[in-house]
Amino acid sequence: MSLLVVGSVAFDSVKTPFGEVDEVLGGSATYFSTAASYFTDVNLVAVIGEDFPEAHVQFLSERGIDLEGLSRQAGRTFRWRGEYSYQLNEAKTLDTQLNVFESFHPTLPEAYRDVPFVFLANIDPDLQLDVLNQVKSPKLVACDTMNFWIEGKRDALLKTLKAVDILIINDGEARELADEVNLVKVAKKILSYGPSTLVVKQGEYGALMFTAHSVFSAPAYPLEEVFDPTGAGDSFAGGFMGYLAKCGEVNDSNIRQAVIYGSTMASINVEAFSLDRMRALKQEEIASRYQAFKALTFFEEY
């Protein structure tokens, strides 16, 4: 089944202990849709400026991503600049320029209004809700956000969360959103805001999925080389939602598999800067990393 995403398409400038890149392809919706495109049809809603190169548009199009909802407007593309220390789990944001996103009010293409699966990637929560309200009767809605919006637009974010089934968020941001330290208490509080499922991404420590009655834990793949953690969260969400959309329904078994497909895509993405690792990625590599996750956590009955 098809999947709609709204989020940022960006120029990222990133510094990690292993190198530095300037104005490369990035953005929450870019990472998400590229990862999800390995599983299902993706419809992208975002805005780019006059300065966005045709080659990047071509890349997304070659991944089979539907770009009818990608609007080019007068002005500059969204820009984000961040830095990571040896503690690769958290980016320090040095600069955020919303640019064309400041005045973006999309009207969804008619063909996008019936999509069953929706992902509200990290972007202004007012824009997330605006897009969601144009989808007729979505089967599953998931969402991401970050401290920039938790601090700058908390009320709008809480309104969006009321309409969301699954929140996928970093541990630090989950704690900030709930104003609690303990993750079990964080989960209880966030589930009271609207979502019935919370996925907490913990970088190199993996991911935890909470519902009112269960907890599922997935490790992160122990990689020898991590070059650039940028986009790990969005690639996780792309693998997670892409797999659920491919299944066409959500149950306890496939949502756990989705967490592992999410972890698989995140672990692959961080092996290179920007989206470079996903440029020539093969389905066999995804399947083999998924199997490696299975081996990593398998143990016998007592």
Residues that bind ligand AMP (CB under 6 A): 8, 10, 12, 26-28, 31, 80, 96, 122-123, 146, 148, 230-234
Structure tokens given for 119: 């992902």
Which of 69, 233 has the CB closer to ligand AMP?
A: 233
Least distance in angstroms from the C-beta of 233 to ligand AMP: 3
Least distance in angstroms from the C-beta of 273 to ligand AMP: 11
How far, in Å, are 73, 113, 119, 266 from residue 2 at the CA level? 26, 11, 11, 21
Q: How far apart are CA 104 and CA 230, in angstroms?
A: 24
Least distance in angstroms from the C-beta of 8 to ligand AMP: 4
Which of 59, 148 has the CB closer to ligand AMP?
A: 148
3-state secondary structure of 278: helix
Which has the closest alpha carbon to 209: 260, 269, 150? 260
Which residues are CB-neighbours of 88 under 8 A, at least 6 positions away? 16, 203, 204, 226, 229
Q: How far apart are CA 116 and CA 80, in angstroms?
A: 31
Least distance in angstroms from the C-beta of 14 to ligand AMP: 8
Which of 144, 247 has the CB closer to ligand AMP?
A: 144
Which of 11, 116 has the CB closer to ligand AMP?
A: 11
Least distance in angstroms from the C-beta of 234 to ligand AMP: 4
Least distance in angstroms from the C-beta of 185 to ligand AMP: 23
DSSP state of 102: G
Return the residue matching tokens 């997304």: 60
Which of 160, 230 has the CB closer to ligand AMP?
A: 230
Which of 1, 158 has the CB closer to ligand AMP?
A: 158
Q: What angle do CA 269, 158, 207 make, to 5 degrees?
A: 30
Structure tokens given for 198: 């919370």
Q: How far apart are CA 278 and CA 227, in angstroms?
A: 14
Least distance in angstroms from the C-beta of 147 to ligand AMP: 9
Sheet holding 78-83, edge to edge: 19-26, 10-16, 78-83, 92-97
Which of 78, 210 has the CB closer to ligand AMP?
A: 78
DSSP state of 139: S
Which of 99, 116 has the CB closer to ligand AMP?
A: 99
Helices 183-191 and 171-178: crossing angle in degrees, nearest 10, is: 60
* Contact present, 104 and 127 (Cβ < 8 Å): yes
Least distance in angstroms from the C-beta of 27 to ligand AMP: 5
How far, in Å, are 122, 157, 275, 287 from residue 147 at the CA level? 10, 11, 23, 33
